Amino acid sequence: AQTVTQSQPEMSVQEAETVTLSCTYDTSESDYYLFWYKQPPSRQMILVIRQEAYKQQNATENRFSVNFQKAAKSFSLKISDSQLGDAAMYFCAFLGGGSQGNLIFGKGTKLSVKP
């Protein structure tokens, strides 16, 4: 069974600085997707960024980028120029079966942004 591990329960960053959130996963599959989702307080979960396992190039979305290390089964999220609105829970998620499998989440990292 696949597992997703986020080893940082809480992280803090100064506004305008850069922060990296860690995620590792375990799978025997070769075709899968990885995601980072953001859940602001009392708000809906929204997609931040997505990575296809068969793509070597790391995904980027504006200030958000990932460092995908397939062999190491590592998938970290870098947030550049942190803003107050980035404060939220961040969840790493794995979708296996070439997108036909189950979508499972890590336990999350709570990110605080200091003004």
Partner 1 sequence: DTGVSQNPRHKITKRGQNVTFRCDPISEHNRLYWYRQTLGQGPEFLTYFQNEAQLEKSRLLSDRFSAERPKGSFSTLEIQRTEQGDSAMYLCASFRTGGLPEAFFGQGTRLTVV
Which of 53, 79, 95, 113 touches partner 1 (CB under 8 A)? Answer: 95
- The 3-class secondary structure across the chain, one letter per residue, is CCEEECCCCEEEEECCCCEEECCEEECCCCCCEEEEEEECCCCCCEEEEEEECCCCCCCEECCEEEEEECCCCEEEEEECCCCHHHCEEEEEEEECHHHCCCEEECCCEEEEEEC
Residue 114 beta carbon to partner 1: minimum distance, rounded to whole angstroms: 20
Segment near partner 1 (CB under 8 A); pick from 15-23, 47-55, 68-76, 77-85 = 47-55
Report the residue from 24, 27, 31, 45 that binds partner 1 according to the rule CB under 8 A: 45
> Which parts of this chain interact with partner 1 (CB under 8 A)?
6, 33, 35, 37, 44-47, 50, 52, 89, 91, 93, 95, 99-100, 102-108, 110
